[in-house]
Amino acid sequence: MAIVPVMLSVWGVSLVLMLAVSLYAARLGRNEEAQIFLAESSSHVKSEQDEIAARVGRIRPLQRSLIGLASLMTLVVVVYFVINVFRQF
């Protein structure tokens, strides 16, 4: 079995997963606002913002892992093809 199709497939899947999780995190964070709630009457808004922040916080480790995996796979693909070019000379 050739390694190139497997390597490119893993690279493509990692890029798609990274993109999907990044878009999901951006969509969640879109409703998050950076403001201070001073009045007690806005406690429901504060609780909504805390819930959004908690969701985004739970996704961050997965997002960072997928970014790392996609970066690593990109490096592997580039190194493989650079080595392949040098072997042909």
Nearest by Cα to 69 from 5, 4, 15, 7: 15
Q: At what angle do helices 43-88 and 3-29 cross, to 10 degrees?
A: 160
Tokens for 64? 């960072």
For residue 59, what are its two tokens? 């996704």
Q: Is 2 left (phi over 0), alpha (psi -120 to 50) or beta?
A: beta
Kindly tell me the sign of the dihedral angle through the C-alpha atoms of 28, 33, 38, 41.
Answer: negative
Q: What is the pTM of this model?
A: 0.76
Q: Convert the pLDDT of each residue in 7-62 to its tens digit.
A: 999 999 999 999 999 999 888 877 666 565 556 666 777 777 778 788 888 999 99
